[in-house]
Amino acid sequence: MPEAPMNAPFPMPAGPIGGPAAWFGPDMDRDRSWAMTYTGAELDELDAAIHAFESSGRDLGSITAESFPLPLLKPKLDAMLHELLHGRGFALLRGFDVSRYSIAQAAAAYLGVGAHLGGFRSQNAKGHLLGHVKDLGLDIRNPTVRYYQTNRKLEFHTDSCDVVGLLCLKTAKWGGESRIASSVTLHDEMLRRRPDLRAALFTPMPTDRRGEVPPGMKPWFDVPVFSWHEGQLTTIYAGQYIRSAQANFPDCPRLTALEHEAIDLLDEMANDPAINLGMEFLPGDMQFVHNHNMLHSRGDFEDFAELDKRRHLLRLWLCPKQARPLPPLFAQRYGSLEIGNRGGIVTKETTLKFVLEAQ
């Protein structure tokens, strides 16, 4: 794969992008049509599908849209996927009583719903297709530790897949609110305020892989924060890992002062409550976010002392067959760019698996 040219000219939209994905948090807080509730019949169908799967003796890896049919719920899931990919870019499904089920049963339900949205992708070098967002007491100063394994605040970022989903099993004692922000809005606002910094975000920036390095690749990848490709703004961003690449890899390309200022302003704007949307998770909530035009984050939290009460979310990285085309440079992070078969993290040691305990 050719090296990404640094500071080379890249295409940009001529002006503001707008559209349904360009929203502001306070407006979304007033119009909560993105928060959908299961009907009683849909919950009964999901419950029957859970028990049919359990009775079959099959393992989680066998779950597909075909093997986990949800005919009543499918129209709602199809509409939600269209809204994710072509509308506001996020959705919440509420009303699943997760307390009624074991973690294995809840995972089956979540994978069954997720399978109707896209294929599952590996979320780390261990090959976990079902991720666990939980404080494992790890030290973020360790260069292989990722923020979701701690109780530290997550800065606004994207994940390396088309759609990321979270199922809330248990909430923290306090904190841990989910926050999302439209990267289309951030682009348009930055164009309005600082067009010079907007342009800086269309040049590749080295991003730390946190020790999860695919064969033949460097310990960082070079992709612009903003890419204008086939008439769409596509975003890939992890400011914490752009900064750690600068600190940890002396041989990676150095950011210019303008590029540092650009990501600082991007973070400042994403954290502005006039732009972002806060979302409190309840047990059983399923949140889905389109990574290509949304950033997401999480606040610090304090957990319960009792192990069985601690905050715990299940996560899916999904690859829909209806997803958008991606810029060629994304191959450094996504591997294949084939729609319906891309994204995730795979190294030489990766073995794909589903696990029911955080590790």
DSSP class per residue in 298-310: E--EE--SSGGGS
The β-bridge partners of 222 are 206
Q: 214: domain CATH number?
A: 3.60.130.10
For the chain, how many structural domains are there in total?
1
pLDDT at position 306 is: 79
Whole-number pLDDT of residue 45: 98
Token couple for 310: 């601690």
User: CA geometry: angle at 230 spanning 229 and 236, to 5°?
Assistant: 30
Q: How far apart are CA 295 and CA 99, in angstroms?
A: 30
Residues of the chain with pLDDT under 50: 1-8, 139, 145
The closest alpha carbon to 115, from 57, 60, 48, 35, belongs to: 60
Query: How many C-beta atoms surround the C-beta of residue 114 within 10 A?
Result: 27
pLDDT at position 303 is: 78
pLDDT at 151: 57
**Is 273 among the domain residues?**
yes
Tell me if 247 is assigned to some domain: yes
| Strand intervals (E) in 171-250 | 174-175, 178-182, 204-208, 220-224, 226-229, 232-235
Q: Would the CA dihedral through 263, 186, 80, 298 be positive or negative?
A: positive
**Res 4: pLDDT:** 38
> Is the alpha carbon torsion for 165, 171, 172, 176 positive or negative?
positive
**The domain containing residue 324 runs over which residues?**
34-354
Query: In terms of DSSP H, where are the helices of 13-161?
Result: 25-30, 40-56, 74-86, 103-115
pLDDT at 5: 40
Whether 220 is covered by a domain: the verdict is yes
Distance between CA 223 and CA 331 in Å, rounded? 9
pLDDT value of residue 82? 98
Phi first, then psi: give them for residue 77, nearest 5 degrees. Answer: -70, -40
In-domain check, residue 19: no
Give a yes or no: residue 110 inside a domain.
yes
Q: DSSP character for 221?
A: E
pLDDT of residue 105: 98
Provide the pLDDT for residue 88.
98
Q: Which two tokens stand for residue 169?
A: 């099993």
| Within-domain flag for 147 | yes
Q: pLDDT by residue (tens digit) across 199-219?
A: 999 999 999 999 999 999 999
Instruction: Kindly list the distances between the CA atom of residue 120 and the CA atoms of 128, 163, 249, 276, in Å, as whole numbers in the listed order.
Output: 10, 10, 31, 28
pTM assigned to the model: 0.92
Query: For residue 244, is it within any domain?
Result: yes
Q: Determine the Cα–Cα distance for residues 172 and 237; give it in Å rounded to an integer.
A: 26
Beta bridge partners of 314: 132, 167
Q: Measured between alpha carbons, how far is 31 from 102 in angstroms, rounded to an integer?
A: 34
Pairing of strands 178-182, 277-279: antiparallel
* Residue 204 placed within a domain: yes
- Are 301 and 171 in contact by the 8 Å Cβ rule? The answer is no
How would you list the strands of the sheet with 178-182, edge to edge? 154-157, 294-298, 178-182, 277-279
